Every structure is written in structure tokens, then in C-alpha cells.
Structure 1
Amino acid sequence: MITTDPIGEWTWEITPEGRSVEPSRAIQIAAAIWNVLAGVGIAAPVAEVSVTVRSMGDMRDIRFEATGIPLEEDPLAPHTALARAASHTDALQGDFVVAVRMRCPGVWSVPGTRHRAEQLFTIQADVWKRSLVAVTLETYSDVWLTMDTRGREQIATYDENAPRLALALKEISELFGCAPTPGDENRYATPTETGFEDLRIEGPAYVDAWGTFEVPARSRRLRSLLPPSEEEYPETTEHPVHYYTVRDQGQILGYVWAAQADNAAGFEPRTAAGKRAFEAGRAWLLRLREAHRLGLQAPDVLTWLAQQAAPHVIGHIAEDEPQACPNLDSLEDLSGRW
């Protein structure tokens, strides 16, 4: 399953002895870690970088900020956007905190199939006062675990993916000359220096952590993109649902659904599609609000949606006929799995 909050994290702290650290070192380190992840086959192009420089005396004082910078093939070659950000950073005078955050798409395997998530990892590299470097790697997938975040054993998936994560952590540690500090145990798993503890030994903290925490978190994130309105269908149901797959440029962004025995309807973003899934969800929920204003009952909504020309809606309906799902939980599972 893919999550919007990290499943685990690892931190390295480096204090270079006897020399000052150039602020742009944070950018170089983030790019080097991406190269490690790509080298073991779990990061994929194109990563997206943000760089922020704040004054040590007042963290609200932002001296430089750049977002959405693509990690190009030779990211620090002259005239690239990231090279320009590095030059701006190094030109500043004074005591600063340089923060570099990189959103990394990545790939994982289940037996016989490879899948992609638009945020499989994030890399955070900070330089404090030219004297301390702190690096954190976060992951947003449970394929490194012996049990997924819904409590299901997945040994074949673990065997295909966990060794590559362990190798990446080893190579990053060799790069810095120190072992990582694993993050604390969380609702999903317990990180270790080489990956995660085996959930089969003591069992997961929650039988269905993904359903308990991730589904509500996704809903809150999606709803935060919408203006307040009373024109809403209920977003939960215990009854079977029908749905359409929403695609754009060959990518599944999510599923617009409607219950068949009550008046619930909604959109399940495909978490692996990243922020575009939530942008699409916003557009389709606005369309559902329009249907609600027109007085349409949920069982009729999908037919109405399929008949609408909606050039402003992100994505298009992929099927000629609605698909059936035994319950909303199964559709939520589908939206988070791949």
C-alpha cells in the first residue's frame, strides 16, 4: 500500500571536522542519495527538488526559495535550474539553515510485475551554519515489510523489494561514513538500520493501519482543496458501489464511485499517482456537487457523469460501463495498492 505519511525514516548526522560546509552541499548530498536509490533500482526519474534558505536568527526570514526544480540527468551542470539554485545559496553571507527536499518517484516489484509511485521516497538534506549536515530519507510504501499495512502477509513482495532497500541504506551509510539512526516505531512499522523489523514476530500495532489512518488522511487532504459546501453526497457507505476509473495520459488517477443502495458517492484518489490524483479528485468532487445540486440520487450519478462533456475536469472516464465493487473498502484498497 502507498501512504501519504511516511511508513519509516532514517537519519544521518555528519559534522565535518576542521572545515566549513558550503551551503550547496545540501543539494549535492540530496542528488547523491537519489543516485544511490536509482542505482539499486528503486528510484525513477524525474525527482522534484525544493531549496529554502532561512536565517538562523529568525526562521521566518527566508533569504532564498525555489520549488519544483526538476532533477535533471546532470543536475549540477552549468545553467541547470538546480545549479543556479546552488549558486544563489553559496553567494549568501551569514548564518543560515539550508533545507533541500526532494520528492522521489520510484518503482517496486510484486512477483512478475513492476509498479511506480510518484512519491516513493523523500530526501531531506539540511546544512546548519555551515557546520552540521543532517539527512533524512523517508519511504511511503509498505513493500519493504513482511506484512502490508492492512495486516496481510506478503513474503514474496518483501523478498523482491526489501533487499534493495537494505542495499541502498548500506550504500548511503558508506557515503557518509556512519550508520543511520532509524526513526521511531510508528503506526505502520518499526524502522531498523537495514530496513524494518519483521511484523510477523509481534504482529502489527494495528490490524488495518492503512484503513484506520490513511483513508481518513486522504479524505481530509482532498476535502481541504474544496470550498465549504452543503451540496455533498455522504462519502461512506456499507453497500456495494459502482465506479469509473479516471485516467489521464495513460495514468490512473483514481476512481469516481456511487453507492447502489443509498445516496453516497465520492472519489478515491490513487495514492501512487501523487498530487495529480488529488487535483483530479478535487475536479470530480466539484462535478459531484453539481449533480447533488441537480437533485440526482447516487445510483444515477455515474450515468450522468458519463454523459457530461467536461474539458475542465482532470482525467477522463476510462470504461464504457461502470464497474462493480462489493463494497467501498475494496475500492479503497484498490486505490492504495498500486
Structure 2
Amino acid sequence: MITSEDPVGDWTWEITQNKKTESPPLRAVETAAAVWSILLQHELAAPTANGFLSVRSMPNTAPPLVEVNGLALKFAALKSETALSQAVAEAERALPQDRALVSFRLQCPGFWSASGAKFRAEKMFIVQVDAWARGFALVTLETYSDAWLTVDTRDREQLQTRAENSPRLAAALKAISALLGSTPTPGDSNRYATPTETGFEDVRDEGPAYDDSWGTFEIPARSRRLRSSLPPSEEEYSETTDHPVRYFTVQHEGRVLGYLWASADDEAAGYEPRTAAGDSAFEAGKEWLLRLREAHLQGLTALVALSWLARLPRTALSEIVDTVPTPASSLDALEDMSGRT
């Protein structure tokens, strides 16, 4: 199973409610919470999530009237969550007299299983509800896991993994449809898979749209995200190598965030975020990339730089836990591990 930064698939439900007097912000939050509850019941989601709430005046061309990000939510305390209540109240006060769009988004960690063992990904699902004042709403569910596919996003058959996970997804989609009183519109086919009303088509029928779609698209996208907020610099080791590599595991409070690596035979080094660890993996990686730049500025070779980094104090967000670097047969193998675990 591989976790992706882009959705593997999505489903959308259209709902119309004759509740013109009901608060659109409250309706958006309650609907998203009800979908979250179904994911919890089917052991697909964790009882914690990050919430985002916004209000926009229509047509959607101006900056948002309200935008509240990073709401750390617990399902058990959702009704008494002060920060969420304050955000809903702020959204209600900001509602314009004309048409308005209220959007509430939940980023949900979730679980998948393999050989009976359960694993966690920090961005397994996103639930978004877009609510208009007249009662119309769109509910969208996105998944960022390929655990439901017969072939993973690196073109490897995974029938057992699918058998363990896809029935729970199908049951959840059915329950969400019953809750909302409508059938879902599956998202378009993408580079990973083709969604259906009950899950996904069998990738083996026609073959994947791209060979190794995860490696082709995900790896460059992760690199762009890692470096997007760093200042430009010429003090860089090469990001790629065809040689074997050695790596240190980067952790925070026992959770693996990524892998700091260097080539065994040329001047390449970098950091591979563990995608399933979510945003924390990327934030930690930026600090290590800055330290790699410092090593390059000092003229250290890639392997010497790797050892030098291991002797430095931990960063604000993570630390190297190994004393000796681990060998990997290739950078591709390390990238693969960063997506699968």
C-alpha cells in the first residue's frame, strides 16, 4: 500500500435540504461530522482530524470573508469544541445578505491493514462539505491511499491488501449514501485509478494509465513541496543518483518522518519524506535540507555530510535515531519505502 499526496480517487454527493433557516456553517460542520462518524464506524478513520472552515461571497472571486485553518479536532469532544464553535459563530456573523458559500474540510488520519496488521496514515481521507444558504450542498470524500486497488500505484499486484481493505470502503460509501439520501458521483479516472460507486475498478482489466504513476508524479511533486518555501541556493547536492545509498531514519517522538540519505558513490544527497506521516514529514525535511546546504557549503562530500549531520543536535522538529547509516540498494528502493510504510 502506498500513500499519495494527490487523491487516488473521490466521490461527490449532491444534497438539497429544505432548511432555509438553518445556519449553513452549522449544516456544513454537522454533515462533515456525520460522514466522519461513518468512517470511524468502519475503522477507516482515526478519532482526530484537522478542520478548515471558510465563507465566501458568491461569485467566488473575492478573498474569503472568513478563513479558519488548523482546527485540531477530536470526534468525542466535537460538540463541545470551543475553537470550532467560535469558528462557526464567526462564519455565521460574516454571512452576506446575498449568496454565500460555506466550506468545511476535514483532513482525517486513517487506517489500512495488511496481513492482519493495522497501519496509520496521517492523510487517509479528506471530507469536504460545500453548503449554500438555500439548502443545496456538495459532499466530497477523497482518499489518498491505494489500499483499495488490485494493483498498487507502482504497478504491483496486491490482491490480499485489497481484500482486507476494499470491503470496508464499499460499506462506508454505501452508508454515506444512505445518510445523505443520494448516490455518489465517482470522480474521473486519474493517473492512479478509476473510482466507482462502490470503490474502484480493477486496474488489471485495462492496465494502469501510467507505468509507475506514483514514482513518475509523486516523487517530483514531493521535492517541489519540500523546496518551495526554502530560499534559492546553489549549495546543493544532486537530488538523484543511480548508485546505492545509505540513510538515517528521521523520527519525532517515536514516529518515523522520513529518511536522510547520501549516495555511496557520487555527490548526491537528500531527504525522502514518509508520505504517510503527513505534513510533519515535510516540515522536518526542510530543516534537514538546510543543514545539507550548510554541509555542501563547507565542501563536505555527500557521505561525509551524512555522518556530520548525525553528530549535530536534533532539530526543532525531529532527530536522527541511528548511529550507523543503513544501506539501500538504490534511491528508488528508499523512495519506495518512504511511500509504503
Which TM-score applies when normalising by structure 2? 0.95
Q: 2: CA distance between counterparts of 1:204 and 1:237?
A: 27
Q: 1: CA distance between counterparts of 2:60 and 2:157?
A: 48
Residue 336 of structure 1 is matched in structure 2 by 339
Residue 236 of structure 2 is matched in structure 1 by 232
Residue 14 of structure 1 is matched in structure 2 by 15
Q: 1: CA distance between counterparts of 2:337 and 2:58?
A: 45
Residue 306 of structure 1 is matched in structure 2 by 310
- Tell me whether 66-75 or 101-110 shows the greater mean CA deviation: 66-75
Residue 193 of structure 1 is matched in structure 2 by 197
The CA deviation at 1:134 is 0.4
The CA deviation at 1:306 is 1.4
- Tell me whether 14-23 or 242-251 shows the greater mean CA deviation: 14-23
Residue 169 of structure 1 is matched in structure 2 by 173
Residue 113 of structure 1 is matched in structure 2 by 117
Instruction: Report the count of equivalent residues.
Output: 337
**Would the alpha carbon gap of residues 298 and 146 (structure 1) be closer, same or farther in structure 2, given more than 3 Å must change?**
same
Conservation of the 8 A alpha-carbon contact between 1:243 and 1:255: yes
* C-alpha distance after superposition, 1:133-154 (max 9, x if no partner): 0011000000010000000000
Residue 131 of structure 2 is matched in structure 1 by 127
- Residues 1:155 and 2:159 are matched in the alignment: yes
SS in 2 for 1:62: coil
- Residues 1:242 and 2:246 are matched in the alignment: yes
SS in 2 for 1:104: strand
Residue 3 of structure 1 is matched in structure 2 by 4
- Residues 1:67 and 2:50 are matched in the alignment: no
**Would the alpha carbon gap of residues 78 and 115 (structure 1) be closer, same or farther in structure 2, given more than 3 Å must change?**
closer
The CA deviation at 1:86 is 2.2
* C-alpha distance after superposition, 1:85-132 (max 9, x if no partner): 223333435221001111100011011321111100001101123331
Conservation of the 8 A alpha-carbon contact between 1:75 and 1:82: no
**Would the alpha carbon gap of residues 106 and 18 (structure 1) be closer, same or farther in structure 2, given more than 3 Å must change?**
closer
Q: 1:181 aligns with which of 162, 185, 196?
A: 185
Residue 287 of structure 2 is matched in structure 1 by 283
- Give the aligned residue type for 2:46: A
Runs of at least 5 residues in structure 2 that lack an aligned partner in the other structure: none
Q: 2: CA distance between counterparts of 1:141 and 1:294?
A: 41
* C-alpha distance after superposition, 1:147-204 (max 9, x if no partner): 0000000011000000000011000000011110000000000000000000111111
**Would the alpha carbon gap of residues 185 and 256 (structure 1) be closer, same or farther in structure 2, given more than 3 Å must change?**
same
- Residues 1:211 and 2:211 are matched in the alignment: no
**Would the alpha carbon gap of residues 79 and 100 (structure 1) be closer, same or farther in structure 2, given more than 3 Å must change?**
closer
Q: 2: CA distance between counterparts of 1:336 and 1:70?
A: 25
SS in 2 for 1:118: strand
Runs of at least 5 residues in structure 1 that lack an aligned partner in the other structure: none
Task: Say what the alpha-carbon RMSD is for the aligned residues.
Answer: 1.5
